[in-house]
Structure 1
Amino acid sequence: MQQQYVETAPGVRLWTERRGDPEAPALLLVMGAQASGLGWPDALVDALAARHQVIRYDHRDTGRSTTAFDQHPYPITDLARDAVAVLDGLGVEKAHLVGMSLGGMLTQLVLADHPERVLSATLIGTCALSETLYKALDGTQVPVGELPGIAPEVLEMWSRPVEDKGPEAELDRRVEHWRVLNGDQLPAEDAYFRDLEARIIAHTGTHVASTAHARADDSHMLRTDELADSKVPTLVISGPAEPVFPPPHPHHLAQVIGGGGARVVEIAGMGHALPPAVQGPLAEAILTHTDAVRA
């Protein structure tokens, strides 16, 4: 395991970690909003590192990376540029990209804007950056704005102000957040997520949560034509208990990318989280996808 800081923009340094054979094909893990790279579970990272040089990193305003937003606000699209800059800083010409939630959107931006850097893409718990209509099984064409929205219980949590009430209260808040995101098909893993978030807090050096990504400008993210023209092999993970971008969002993504050339794999019981129960099946799906590209 190797840790390194990479400068991705003037005054911006991102923490990175690499595991696995440095001669193996690189695989870049791109986490979601406000999420440290440690949000990718160690067991999942190690499973992927059996066949890849796996890179995970802290976005700006997360983990050990530069806290910059309040002094120098940036748009969400800069986070996608950071992903490419991480590859540059580590001397990686091309990589498999795996993105979750906002990280799935950032992966789409890289896929659209820098396809020459992407060996394959895997998209988890995200929505298409496209205005292409969704074609339902009965042939009906559905506008993107009419696809199912975020579950009310998630919206309620996200509407609450994030207040500093001390480390233990912050851990309680984060565990409750994961309980809601986990969905209703797998048992709650409160102890697992409490341990995960305690390690993230120790890694970060503070329990105070940032809200930078929620405040960042999210305009200029649509890539309808570029995604339709994509030739990059793409896997879309579908979670039947997904409360943020529920089905049929994964199938819409698959229709949008490469003119319908993306593949969908469902992970049983999966919501918008990575508890132990989904890590093995998810690693298998990703490795099957990257192996096929390699072959």
Structure 2
Amino acid sequence: MHREHLIDTAPGVRLWVEERGDADAPALLLVMGAQASGLGWPDALVDALAAHHRVIRYDHRDTGRSTWSYETKPYAITDLADDALAVLDRLGVERAHVVGMSLGGMLAQLLIADHPERLHTATLIGTCALSTTPYTRPDGTVVPVEELPPIDPRILAMWADRPADLDPDAELDWRVEHWRLLNNGGVPFDAEAAREAERRLIAHTGHARVSTAHGQADHSGMLRTEALAATAVPTLVVSATAEPVFPPPHAQHLAQVIRGAELVEIPGMGHALPAPVLEPLAKAILGHTGG
């Protein structure tokens, strides 16, 4: 079953939400990354998960069909975690499996730390730890958090030099090249599939504007070092071997700082969800959730 809603999560904030799967199945909440609509979760992955779960995905504020309000009413990143919890509240979900990617993985960590009673499990993809605990390499050497690898400079340059007021074709060209870099060569890149996904997203949103709200929003107050080290929420960390935004060993570090976390490697995966990684990713998530 496929159900769509517009849900009020805060004063003046309304989010587009979609549900798939049996309404009586265990709920699974998908939380996307910065500037990313819920449509960033490919239908093939959503449907694979929906065979076993009531899958919920949604558009963050300032993405897709949700309220675009940052310019007139700024908010903090922690407010986006409150939105995720409010989606569950409005849908009557007491506890859910939560899967977060990139910024969504950070929001999932906030839920692990602050609302563990609302989570059955958590799965974290393409993200970094909200912790000051250093990383210990297999050889025993210790690496401070600030010395972990940075974002690929090619991606930083592309973000910094993004042209304004691109015509529709040039906008799609820019987005496809962006996905090429995020894919990072670990698996074959399908440019036409990326272009079609972006056409669909633009149609869903109703325009081709891209908000910078999540980059501008207040990122303070997000560290959860002690809570993550003490959590009882079963957590799976996905290690993407070609990840360019949070390169290895960020995933290994994340698995160290979250108590009891398990690590699963998806060879060739970058900071994207192309077709070749969807089957192993769905298998890993469902293995963790018991689906």
Q: TM-score range by the shorter chain?
A: over 0.9
State the secondary structure of the residue aligned to 2:258. Answer: helix
Partner of 2:214: 213
Bigger Cα displacement from structure 2, 50-59 vs 158-167: 158-167
The offset of 1:161, in angstroms, is 3.5
State the secondary structure of the residue aligned to 1:29. Answer: strand
1:76 is the counterpart of 2:81: no
Contact residue 166 and residue 207 of structure 1 kept, 8 A: no
The offset of 1:159, in angstroms, is 1.1
The separation in 2 between residues aligned to 1:114 and 1:168, in whole angstroms, is 44
- The residue correspondences of 1:94-113 to structure 2 (distance < 5 A) are 94-113=95-114
Cα distance change, pair 30–162 in 1 and its aligned pair in 2 (3 A): farther
Could you list the per-position Cα deviations for residues 218-256 of structure 1 after superposition, in whole angstroms to 9, with x for gaps in the alignment? 111100001111100000000110001111111110110
Partner of 2:268: 269
The offset of 1:46, in angstroms, is 0.1
| Matched residue type, 1:117 | R
The offset of 1:168, in angstroms, is 1.6
Across the two proteins, how many residue pairs are aligned to each other? 290
Gaps of at least 5 residues in structure 1 are: none
The offset of 1:170, in angstroms, is 1.2
After the TM superposition, which segments of 4 or more aligned residues of structure 1 sit over 6 Å from their partners? Answer: none
The separation in 1 between residues aligned to 2:127 and 2:39, in whole angstroms, is 19
| TM value normalised by structure 1 | 0.97
State the secondary structure of the residue aligned to 1:103. Answer: helix
- The residue correspondences of 1:28-177 to structure 2 (distance < 5 A) are 28-177=29-178
1:241 is the counterpart of 2:242: yes
| Matched residue type, 1:69 | Y
State the secondary structure of the residue aligned to 1:253. Answer: helix
The separation in 2 between residues aligned to 1:217 and 1:160, in whole angstroms, is 23
The separation in 1 between residues aligned to 2:146 and 2:40, in whole angstroms, is 29
State the secondary structure of the residue aligned to 1:163. Answer: coil
The offset of 1:189, in angstroms, is 1.3
Could you list the per-position Cα deviations for residues 127-156 of structure 1 after superposition, in whole angstroms to 9, with x for gaps in the alignment? 000000111111111100011111111111
The separation in 1 between residues aligned to 2:167 and 2:8, in whole angstroms, is 32
| Matched residue type, 1:278 | V
Gaps of at least 5 residues in structure 2 are: none
Could you list the per-position Cα deviations for residues 31-80 of structure 1 after superposition, in whole angstroms to 9, with x for gaps in the alignment? 00000000000000000000000000000000000011000000111001
The separation in 2 between residues aligned to 1:257 and 1:20, in whole angstroms, is 30
Partner of 2:183: 182
Partner of 1:251: 252
State the secondary structure of the residue aligned to 1:273. Answer: coil
The separation in 2 between residues aligned to 1:85 and 1:44, in whole angstroms, is 24
The offset of 1:105, in angstroms, is 0.3
Could you list the per-position Cα deviations for residues 192-215 of structure 1 after superposition, in whole angstroms to 9, with x for gaps in the alignment? 111111000000000111111111
Partner of 2:278: 279
The separation in 2 between residues aligned to 1:165 and 1:244, in whole angstroms, is 25
| TM value normalised by structure 2 | 0.98
State the secondary structure of the residue aligned to 1:252. Answer: helix
State the secondary structure of the residue aligned to 1:110. Answer: helix
Could you list the per-position Cα deviations for residues 20-40 of structure 1 after superposition, in whole angstroms to 9, with x for gaps in the alignment? 000000000000000000000
The separation in 2 between residues aligned to 1:164 and 1:266, in whole angstroms, is 39
| Matched residue type, 2:285 | I
| Matched residue type, 1:271 | G
Cα distance change, pair 94–162 in 1 and its aligned pair in 2 (3 A): farther
The separation in 2 between residues aligned to 1:60 and 1:162, in whole angstroms, is 23
Identity of aligned residues (%): 67
The separation in 2 between residues aligned to 1:215 and 1:161, in whole angstroms, is 16
State the secondary structure of the residue aligned to 2:60. Answer: coil
Partner of 2:194: 193
The separation in 2 between residues aligned to 1:233 and 1:161, in whole angstroms, is 39
The offset of 1:162, in angstroms, is 4.5
State the secondary structure of the residue aligned to 2:189. Answer: coil
| Matched residue type, 1:279 | L
| Matched residue type, 1:89 | R
| Matched residue type, 1:35 | A
